[in-house]
Structure 1
Amino acid sequence: MKIKICGIRDKRDLEVCEEAGADLIGFINIERSKRMIGIGEIKELLSSMKNKNKAVLVIEPLNMADAEEKIVNSGIFNIQLHSLSSDEIRKLKENYPKKIEEKTQKTSQLTITRAVGISEVIEQDKKKEIENFADVCDFLLFDYEIHGKTGGTGMQIPTKTAIEAAEIAKSHDKDVKLFLAGGMNVSRIKNEGRILEKYFEFFDVNSGVEYKPGIKNKSKINDLMEIKAK
């Protein structure tokens, strides 16, 4: 079981996550998010991280050029996308590492996670969407979808539906890795984690370990990591 804690906005919470042993730490640069943080602030937090490879940049770029700019300016190459088509992601992975290397003088390999919105039922068009993104992405992240938007809903994908989505992705590409997000918390992971980890490599937790949006609860994070360690 691996845990990503997302929505980090300050150094205190970053240190708590690192000390607790979070496998990945997410910084959200999406204006509609209550946990939005600027690229400059992300760079400052990144400079203090003990293991920068754990950093994930969460963005919803307008286009590939916007994505490239955010990647270059942040210095993070683990990217979670809440926009861009499968064709755009393919081009991003093929072309932009060279451009980024030219601009930053650093060798980089983009790791792309694409968020895919799921609600109660997976229709045929959603099945095709999952398959298309599985073709081009390193990871897929299933999050609860409301009105076409994912992230920040605090709502959970039903277990049966989450497993169905995972089976669709894995049957299409056995190598694609999966995150489960959407209202994930200590209670759900404690009760269903051992079942769900058969299908998902990562659990993505955000609001489930907070006092309020953008302010993490150290006690809940430690409780979560105790479950992970068992």
Structure 2
Amino acid sequence: MNIKICGIRRNKDLLTCENAGADLIGFINIERSKRLVKTQKIKDLTSSMKDQEKAVLVIEPENMEDAQEKIEKTGLMKVQLHSLLAEDIIKLKMHYQTKNEPNKCIDPVKKYKSDLTVIRVIGLPKKINFQKIREIQDFTRVCDGLLFDSEIEGKTGGTGRQIPLETATEAAKIAKKCNPDLKLFLAGGMNKNRIENELKTLDNFFDFVDVNSGVEDEPGVKNMAKINDLMEIKVI
């Protein structure tokens, strides 16, 4: 099971995550978040990383231009989006299309090479309806990964609310049916106890678990012991 630890704001927490072996590390640049980090601070933090490929920029851009500006300012090429429509994601990926690839019309259903990795967040209700199925299918075709999080009043991220396992696995099946190569993440109040208790199912349906508040003393302040304890799951 791969582990992404999100909401990093301090150098000491970043170092702990790296030393503990976190597979991905998230930096949140969303104004409404209690774990907000400004773009310059993110650049300062990630510049010291041993492996910057593990860094994920978490944003909620108003439009494609806003997304591009944040990507350029931080220099991070893995981005987790809490907004943008599928057609905007296509345009964003085309902007960062691999330089040696021919400049041609891109069919969004087919894979193409881009220097930008896009993970789109999809909020899940307790039960999945037809509209949510269509949403999952639409983003599956244009993204490199989907992150399922709990949704409250149309907003995702920072809720601390867990998604029922049955709902999460149903969403994962829908996504994988459309694109078997898609990377799937599960967030929403994830902690060591839940991951351990549901490890077999999670490992069967998801590539990553996304942990934030589950390793914190308070928003944006990580607990070294909780991080190290969590990472023991990787060697079970």
* Structure 2: gaps spanning 5 or more residues: 100-113
RMSD, matched Cα: 1.2
Q: Secondary structure at 2:146's aligned position in 1?
A: strand
Q: Specify the alignment match of 1:182 in structure 2.
A: 188
- Whether contact under 8 Å (2:121, 2:146) holds in the other structure is yes
Q: Residue deviations 1:50-82, cap 9 Å, x none?
A: 111000000000100000000011000000000
1:80 aligns to 2:80 (yes or no): yes
Spell out structure 1 runs of 4+ moving beyond 2 A.
95-99
- What does residue range 32-47 of structure 1 map to in structure 2 within 5 Å? 32-47=32-47
1:210 aligns to 2:216 (yes or no): yes
Q: Residue deviations 1:6-27, cap 9 Å, x none?
A: 0000100000000000000000
Higher helix share: 1
- Whether contact under 8 Å (1:3, 1:204) holds in the other structure is yes
How many angstroms does 1:97 deviate by?
4.5
TM-score, normalised via structure 2 length: 0.92
* Structure 1: gaps spanning 5 or more residues: 100-107
1:121 aligns to 2:131 (yes or no): no
How many angstroms does 1:116 deviate by?
0.1
Give the Cα separation in 2 of the matches to 1:187 and 1:63.
38
Give the Cα separation in 2 of the matches to 1:19 and 1:212.
21
Q: Specify the alignment match of 2:92 in structure 1.
A: 92
- Whether contact under 8 Å (2:96, 2:115) holds in the other structure is no
Q: Secondary structure at 1:42's aligned position in 2?
A: helix
How many angstroms does 1:98 deviate by?
7.3
Q: Specify the alignment match of 2:52 in structure 1.
A: 52
Give the Cα separation in 2 of the matches to 1:178 and 1:150.
16
Q: Secondary structure at 1:187's aligned position in 2?
A: helix
- Whether contact under 8 Å (1:209, 1:216) holds in the other structure is yes
Q: Specify the alignment match of 2:150 in structure 1.
A: 144
